[in-house]
Amino acid sequence: MNIDTLVRNNVKNMSSYSSARDDYNGGANKNLIYLDANESPFENGINRYPDNKHKNLKTVISKNKNINVNQVVFGNGTDEILDLIVRVFCNPNKDKIITLPPTYGMYDVIAKTNGVENIEIPLKSDFSIDTDKILGLKTSNIKILFLCSPNNPTGNSFEINVLDNLIKKFNGIVVVDEAYIDFSSQKSLTNLIDKYENLIITQTMSKAYGMAGIRLGMGISNNKIINYINKIKPPYNVNTLTENKALKELNKIDEIKKNIDLVLNQRMLLLTSLEKLDFVEKIYKSDANFLLVKVDDADLRYNQLSEKGIIVRNRSNQPLCQNCLRITIGTKIENNSLIKTLNEL
């Protein structure tokens, strides 16, 4: 597959924004006097523009993810990366994407924002992918297939062989959103980015890494695709405070792994407790930090919990999720409070 043929012509032919700091190639030196970027000269820790290349962050993440430093790009949350991907490949009012509902709602929002049609191919009743329908689609100008694995809101991971087959046979870009991969027994597909040039992985610092508040996401792919994304990416999209906080927290990898284990343990304990409730009809297998729970009346149970000060997510408006609540795994105290409240309903 020739990736260049999928990229919008205006993106192929444009030059990226060149910042003042990009013009200087002499290397770092603490004695340099910077009079190039129209910044404030008064030092306060944030008076200078952030590193446009995110060199320190790339070094840490590439080691953490076992990838090359030129195979990752950072965004203001993963949503920015998803938006940039659509803007690189999809011509407005012409090209299309495929999504598999029920799934993450921002794929559709991003498509509509960019004037791109979203072709929805629902998951099967067991939340598996309808591969034949995707590969058998005869519609022209389909550029991107979005897959969320583990999937939000269903919580299940798609089988590796199914994903591998889709990436290999789909005649376009395949984006695998791995926001919840750290909670899954299934390995990340980052090891396939050298094998398939049409594969993009997105990941986030918001879930397992506990940094939702700083808005930091990443795209992982081959150097060619990363270069195209960098071409249209705003130059200072990740600010200094975000990068510094991320670097500090990424030094606590043992604590992060411990917290992941705590979530997995609490997920099992919560599942066991929920199974004992008469109004719980089904709990779907989860590889994420949440459980999708089918109850007798989702609206009723949601309102009852809200009145008690416990907020969950009612997903009944999503395909295949009628009367389903999505419950995020909290701390042991929070989960015990939830179960106590549910037992009193």
pTM metric for this prediction:
0.96
Q: How far apart are CA 36 and CA 38, in angstroms?
A: 6
> What topology is assigned to 3-18+50-251 in CATH?
Aspartate Aminotransferase; domain 2 (3.40.640)
User: What's the rounded mean pLDDT across residues 122-148?
Assistant: 96
CATH superfamily assigned to domain 254-343: Aspartate Aminotransferase, domain 1 (3.90.1150.10)
What was the pLDDT predicted at 18? 86
Q: Find tokens 């809200």 and name the residue.
A: 306
User: What's the rounded mean pLDDT across residues 213-238?
Assistant: 97
Beta bridge partners of 148: 177
What was the pLDDT predicted at 20? 81
Q: How far apart are CA 114 and CA 16, in angstroms?
A: 20
User: What's the rounded mean pLDDT across residues 257-261?
Assistant: 98
For residue 30, pLDDT beyond 80? no
Query: Across the chain, what does the average pLDDT equal?
Result: 96
Cβ-count burial 229-262 (b if 16+ within 10 Å, e if not): bbbbbebebbbeebbbbbeebbeeeeebeeebee
Cα–Cα separations (whole angstroms), residue 316 to 7, 293, 322: 37, 11, 4
pLDDT digits (tens, 9 = 90+) for 288-334: 999 999 999 999 999 999 999 999 999 999 999 999 999 999 999 99
Q: Any idea where the domains of the chain sit in the sequence? A: 3-18+50-251, 254-343
